[in-house]
Structure 1
Amino acid sequence: MRKGLPLLLALLLASTAPGLRAESLDRAELARLTRTVAEIGTRLEAVDTRKDDARALLTGRLAMIDRTEAAPRPALDRLTTVGKLQTVPIDFMLAQLRLQTARQFDAEIEKALVNRAAPALFVRGGSMTLDQVAAEADKLYPGALERRGKTILSRWPIVIWSDSALVIEPGQSLELSTIDGAFLLNSGLLTVDQGELKASEGENPGLKGFRPFVATAMTGAFQATGARFSRLGYADAGSTSGLSILGAALFPSKIGSHIVDSSFDNVSGVNLENIHRVTVAGNRFSGGTGPAVAIKGVTGADISDNVITGTTETQAIDIQNTSSSIRVAGNILLGNRGSGIFIANDARDVTVTGNLMSGNGRGGVSVVRSSCVAISENLVLSNSQVGIKLRTSNGLFLSHNDLIANAGAGISIIDQEAEAHVTIDGNAFSANKSGIHGGAASEVSLLANDFAGQSPILLDGEFAPYVPQLLQTSASQGASAAALTIHANTSSAAPVDCKTGS
């Protein structure tokens, strides 16, 4: 059966199963779709582009990428009291960084500080704009900041205290000096409203690979609308990753964080940890090591309508470490080094809907050791490995995805626990290495999937012997056609309850 399947039987799978697409994908249509996705990439190549710039191309099979509900755009919060600028010793600054970011702190960061005798600028007692900070620093702390036209270059680190806010207003630009080892620690409110926050060019003489970063921690919140970020971050995901928001159970922020309609150019990534209610929507991420968006221990996140291309080391979107109630919708993920979306390590209640994932160095979506994940209406095209990979996970529902021309299987299910269950309903498979691959899988329910364009291998691995049953089930007429169940569960363990969370 692995050697081939007559095309007539493959067509039978599409023509008789209820609820499927009206047309199959032939070679000419595949070529047109591939060209269209390439054109989407071309239109979105510039760092200041947005998903809207390619909207005219989101038709036909690509229309699902444009049907997701847009995330609400939160208003920017403001503090009414006026702050003041002071300084604190750099040792205090480093101690706070250690305390507030815990294990995410890079112990070698003090090597990046060229002038250890210099203090850090300290905003406290209320709100200040970047221009106000610059004016006060000119008077009180010469050499801390330098004006370069509309750009303010900071040679000293900056601390925003828990009772304070720094506002980068429209047209304002804060540049953190790479050579001097500057960075920004925020435990209050940092707002970038159509402004810019970036690292300077150059190399740090004390710490190889150092680039300035922005870390929001403890009670802090970060909000950005229509902003631009560039060259921030180094090392792995954590407080130095570029732009991080790190919460703490004992010190929850009373203000929500959000990043919307902004550009990230060669920023290592946005790292979100142990926070609640965060929105990352309508942004453009270009380059950077990645993940472009990393989520760990987060409850309630909306990651939608972003364009992410060209991460150099890892996946585009990474969801891990007991994160829950996560929506990933309407994103365009092209040409990233790892998977488009990676979900792992006890993540649950994750929905992945209406995303375009193409040309990524691994697969489209990978789910590992997680539960209650719904993956629906995604276009997963020409990725270097599997389209959707499921491993050691439970309570998974895959519906109405287009899985096309992936180098591995359209869907792979491996290393499942005895009580695990996967439902695969109404998906379309075309020109993948194989349709569905199974290895050490448990119960899988197949219903109304379209294999018309999937030739010669429909089911692979330990699923291969089930091809005759698949054909027979697909030939059943009517909306009440039964699902084909592979490896029915015999475990006495209760199934995972995705509605109540038990």
Structure 2
Amino acid sequence: MDGSQGAFIVNTGALEIIGARLDATPGAKSDFRPFLLTTFAGATQVSRSVIADLGSPAFPESSGLAFTHQQFSTSGTASMLRDNVFRNGVGVAVTASNRLDVIGNRFVDGSKTAVLVKAARDVRIADNIVSQRTGTHGIKVTDSSSQIDILHNVIIDSPGNGILVDGGATDVRISRNLVGKSRLAGVSVAGSACVAITSNFVIANGSRGIAMRSVLRGKVEDNHLIANGSAGLAISGQSDHAALLVSRNIFKDNRFGLSGARLGELSLSANDFERQLPRIADGEFSANLGELLEFVASSKPGEFKLASTTSEGGELSQFSAVDLARCVAKKRA
């Protein structure tokens, strides 16, 4: 596509790109690069292709490959991105859309977030490799997105957070990813609900391994938290009844194992701190360190529970009432 002429593609039908290359011609305008936007009843399926030099950073809709306003699409075909290479572009943005698979792709040298999910539902991001030293985050989920799976990805060298979930997102599963060497946190979750972070390797991130702030009904389970620059797990800003379960995680060589302020309602169970000694706790956890170590050493079954009274309630206005009610009901069932 000719960037010097302001070229772009808007797809409202069925578009397939298979084993091809889609890029911009040299000499594109400095403030504009071509992009492919799929909207309304459109569906785009891209496989085994190279997507290079596409996307303008001003709006999500002008990302290299963008999907928007598809909630009410009657198309029987879902959009899908599989086994592609995205290079030197703005990446993929899914805004106000339903049903998209982003599977087996490689994102290299992007200038923004590799995969942005905003006000979207039923999105699966799996088996991708994200390796970009520029841009912002590896994967970001925000603006009341719901039913999002982030599975089996490798995210290395993110200049921001490896994975960021915020803005009232609900029902997000982050599982079996390798997240390493992010400048900020490996996995950061804020202002979200029903988020399960399970079986990930979170290694050598510049700040925290996993950060949980103002999360309703969260779970951090079976993760390896290793050599992170701050706490392996940091918890803050929890409301009084924001239940959070932390179980069967392995902490090793982080600056601290646990760090917290305003912990809310917290349960710890069967976590391994043996290779984290002596730097196990910081913040509010320090006051309970003796009891926690005694509980761990006793090998007692059950949970070690902490509760701190907070002066703040959870901000619920950012959530979709329907999605929040559904995810909370599902967790209780």
**TM (normalized to structure 2)?**
0.91
Secondary structure of residue in 2 paired with 1:369: strand
**1:469-494 Cα shifts (integer Å, max 9, x gaps):** 1112112346xx1211111679999x
Superposed CA deviations along residues 145-194 of structure 1, whole A, max 9, x for unmatched, are xxxxxxxxxxxxxxxxxxxxxxxxxxxxxxx0111221111111221011
Residue number among 480, 484, 488 corresponding to 2:304 in the alignment:
484
Contact 1:218–1:253 (Cα < 8 Å) also in 2: no
Please show how residues 85-484 of structure 1 align to structure 2 within 5 Å: 176-204=1-29, 208-251=30-73, 253-477=75-299, 481-484=301-304
- After superposition, what is the alpha-carbon deviation per residue over 1:449-477, rounded to whole angstroms, capped at 9, x for unaligned? 11111133211101101111111211234
Q: In the superposition, relative to structure 1, how do residues 488 and 441 fare at CA in structure 2: closer, same or farther (>3 Å)?
A: closer
CA RMSD of aligned residues (A): 2.2
Q: Which residue of 2 aligns with 1:44?
A: none
| Distance (Å, rounded) in 2 between the aligned partners of 1:433 and 1:264 | 35
Q: CA shift at 1:410, angstroms?
A: 0.4
Structure 1 SS opposite 2:290:
helix
Whichever residue aligns with residue 277 of structure 1, its letter is: R
CA separation of 1:416 and 1:236: change in aligned 2, threshold 3 A = farther
Q: Contact (CA 8 Å) 1:212, 1:242: kept in 2 or not?
A: yes
Q: Does the 8 Å CA contact 1:219/1:254 hold for their aligned counterparts? A: no
Q: Is contact 1:237-1:269 (8 Å) kept? A: no
One-letter amino acid of the structure 2 residue matched with residue 498 of structure 1 = V
Are 1:292 and 1:308, in contact at CA under 8 Å, matched by a contact in 2?
yes
The change in CA–CA distance for 1:278 and 1:319 in structure 2 (over 3 A counts) is same
Question: Is contact 1:290–1:311 with CA below 8 Å preserved after alignment?
Answer: no
Cα contact 1:252–1:275 (8 A) shared by 2 = no
1:468–1:202 CA distance, 2 compared to 1 (3 A): same
Q: Which amino acid in the other structure matches residue 35 of structure 2?
A: F
CA, structure 1 residues 238+457, in 2 after alignment: closer, same or farther (shift >3 Å)?
Answer: same
Aligned to 2:319: none
Per the TM alignment, residue 418 of structure 1 is displaced from its structure 2 partner at its CA by 1.8
Partners of 1:399 and 1:489 in 2: how far apart? 24
Give the whole-Å Cα distance in 2 for the aligned partners of 1:278 and 1:446. 35
Residue by residue over 1:267-289, the C-alpha shift from the partner in whole angstroms, topping out at 9 and shown as x without a partner, is: 21100112222100000110111
CA–CA separation in structure 2 for the residues paired with 1:400 and 1:394: 19
SS of 1:271 mapped into structure 2:
strand
Q: Give CA deviations for 1:69-102 in whole Å, capped at 9, x if unaligned.
A: xxxxxxxxxxxxxxxxxxxxxxxxxxxxxxxxxx
Listed as ranges, the gaps of 5+ residues in structure 2 are 315-323
The answer as to whether partners of 1:419 and 1:489 remain within 8 angstroms in 2 is no
Opposite residue 137 of structure 2, the aligned amino acid is Q
1:273, 1:311 → 2: CA distance?
24
Unaligned 5+ segments in structure 1 are 1-175
Higher helix share: 1
Q: CA deviation at 1:200?
A: 1.3
**How many Å apart are 1:249 and its aligned residue?**
4.1
Which structure shows the bigger proportion of residues in strand conformation? Answer: 2
SS of the equivalent of 1:352 reads: strand
Deviations 1:234-282 (A, max 9, x none): 1244111111011244555442100001110112110011222210000
Q: What is the one-letter code of the residue matched to 2:64? A: G
Judge conservation of contact 2:136–2:160 (CA < 8 Å) in 1: yes
* Aligned equivalents of 1:400, 1:454: Cα separation in 2: 16
| Larger-gyration structure (1/2) | 1
**Equivalent position amino acid for 2:15 in 1:** L
- Is the contact made by 2:219 and 2:246 (CA closer than 8 Å) also made in structure 1? yes
Q: Is 290-299 or 482-491 further displaced after alignment?
A: 482-491
Q: CA shift at 1:290, angstroms?
A: 2.2
Shift of 1:226: 0.9
Q: CA deviation at 1:499?
A: 4.1
Deviation per CA, 1:357-391, whole angstroms, max 9, x where unpaired?
11111111010100101111111110011000011
Count how many residue pairs are aligned between Structure 1 and Structure 2: 321
C-alpha contact (below 8 Å) 2:250/2:272 kept by paired residues: yes
Cα separation, 2, equivalents of 1:383 and 1:249: 36
Tell me the distance in 2 between the aligned counterparts of 1:251 and 1:377.
Answer: 35
Task: Supply the distance in 2 between the matched residues of 1:306 and 1:342 (Cα, whole angstroms).
Answer: 16
In the TM superposition, what is the alpha-carbon distance from 1:435 to its structure 2 partner? 0.6
Q: Using the alignment, how far apart are the partners of 1:215 and 1:350 within structure 2?
A: 25
State the structure with bigger RCO (CA 8 A, min sep 6), 1 or 2: 1
